[in-house]
């Protein structure tokens, strides 16, 4: 009887020891998992640690992002807003120049941290990306030939007309919806766009009012003008951030608000937009 009792006690002790081992193993796994989670850095933490903000931009979009003709230095409204933003965040900034389509891909792949290139905030884009608070407000206009307005009276007359632009912009979407024939450019200069309208290779460029106004002033010898009757799609532009990088967005938003409140963004805007403050919504009636 004593022998049998000893076996029962030993078996019970073994069972309890086994349970303890399993519990300890689970606990160890949970602790390791928690430790791994704790050490996983956010995008903002990685940027702070690196000390550098990597930014996608075009370098060919005057006056948002372009190269100064004398120094060849990258500059522009969006570029200088980001430079000041990075400075206030105590970060260096590295600009990576690319076409618009590549910017959004590069954000998702992690090649860049943000994109700044007069990028309109749309519902479709907000489903795929996060946007910082807007730092520019504008609306769409149309550049056409000065002598005959390219035979266009309204957006409804775009059907069959050759519209110049990049494939995935909101302006090309408007042209496409109105039946225009798309003439796609890949990160072309303003001069190429405008010359092609002037000489009849294309008929119209739908784009931002402030950009169009400045481009016309610079290329005043060309046979082009802003259509007097076409005003559409009030829009806002913002810095694009990868979806889920909420801490990075919070830091950028906070700094942009400070830059608006102390007049820095207005000052940068007036330098590049011929005295206009594009950080404020324009007072325009839209049909």
pLDDT of residue 101: 85
Number of helices and strands in the chain (H, E): 10, 14
Query: pLDDT digit string (tens) for 233-262?
Result: 999 999 999 999 999 999 999 999 999 999
pLDDT band at 39 (very low <50, low <70, confident <90, very high): low
Q: What are the CA-CA distances from residue 87 to residues 17, 246, 272 (Å)? A: 60, 20, 20
**Mean pLDDT (whole number) for 32-48:** 71
Helix 77-88 vs helix 264-272: crossing angle, to nearest 10: 150
pLDDT of residue 286: 75
> Helix H segments across 40-145?
43-50, 77-88, 100-109, 123-128
Query: pLDDT digit string (tens) for 153-174?
Result: 999 999 999 999 988 888 999 9
**Mean pLDDT (whole number) for 117-133:** 95
pLDDT of residue 33: 42
Topology of domain 138-234, per CATH? Answer: D-Maltodextrin-Binding Protein; domain 2 (3.40.190)
> Looking at residue 276, what DSSP letter applies?
-
Query: pLDDT digit string (tens) for 10-25?
Result: 444 444 434 343 344 4
Report whether pLDDT(88) > 50: yes
* Mean pLDDT for the chain overall: 87
Q: Taking the complete model, does pTM exceed 0.95, yes or no?
A: no
- Four-point Cα dihedral 203, 205, 211, 214, nearest 10: 0
Report whether pLDDT(31) > 70: no
pLDDT of residue 230: 96
Query: pLDDT digit string (tens) for 185-196?
Result: 877 788 899 999
Report whether pLDDT(145) > 70: yes
**Mean pLDDT (whole number) for 64-92:** 97
pLDDT of residue 77: 97
Q: Is the peptide bond before 63 cis (omega within 30 degrees of 0)?
A: yes
pLDDT of residue 72: 95
Give strand pairing partners of 226. 143
Topology of domain 43-135+238-272, per CATH? Answer: D-Maltodextrin-Binding Protein; domain 2 (3.40.190)
pLDDT of residue 287: 59
Cβ 219 vs Cβ 189: under 8 Å: no
pLDDT of residue 34: 38
**In the chain, where does the domain assigned CATH 3.40.190.10 lie?**
43-135+238-272, 138-234
Q: What are the CA-CA distances from residue 162 to residues 37, 116, 146, 176 (Å)? A: 53, 28, 16, 10
């Amino acid at each position: 009887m004593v022998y049998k009792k000893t076996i029962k006690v030993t078996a019970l002790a073994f069972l309890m020891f086994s349970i303890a081992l399993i519990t300890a193993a689970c606990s160890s796994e949970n602790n390791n998992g928690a430790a791994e989670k704790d050490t996983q850095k956010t995008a903002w933490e990685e940027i702070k640690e690196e000390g550098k903000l990597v930014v996608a931009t075009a370098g060919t979009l005057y006056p948002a992002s372009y190269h100064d003709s004398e120094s060849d230095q990258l500059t522009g409204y969006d570029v200088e807003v980001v430079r000041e933003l990075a400075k206030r965040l105590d970060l260096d900034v590295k600009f990576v120049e690319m076409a618009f389509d590549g910017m959004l891909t590069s954000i998702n792949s992690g090649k860049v941290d943000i994109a700044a290139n007069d990028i309109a905030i749309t519902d479709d884009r907000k489903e795929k990306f996060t946007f910082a608070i807007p730092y520019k407000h504008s609306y769409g206009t149309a550049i056409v030939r000065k002598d005959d307005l390219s035979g266009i009276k309204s957006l409804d007359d775009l059907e069959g007309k050759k519209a110049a632009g990049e494939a995935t912009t909101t302006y090309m979407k408007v042209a496409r919806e109105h039946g225009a024939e798309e003439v796609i450019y890949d990160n072309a200069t303003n001069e190429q766009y405008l010359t092609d309208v002037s000489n009849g290779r294309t008929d119209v460029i739908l784009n931002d009012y402030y950009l169009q106004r400045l481009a016309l002033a610079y290329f005043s010898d060309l046979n082009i003008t802003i259509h007097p009757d076409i005003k559409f799609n009030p829009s806002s532009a913002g810095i694009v951030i990868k979806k889920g990088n909420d801490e990075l967005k919070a830091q950028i938003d906070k700094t942009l608000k400070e830059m608006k409140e102390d007049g820095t963004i207005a000052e940068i805007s007036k330098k590049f937009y011929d005295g206009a403050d594009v950080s404020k919504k324009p007072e325009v009636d839209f049909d």
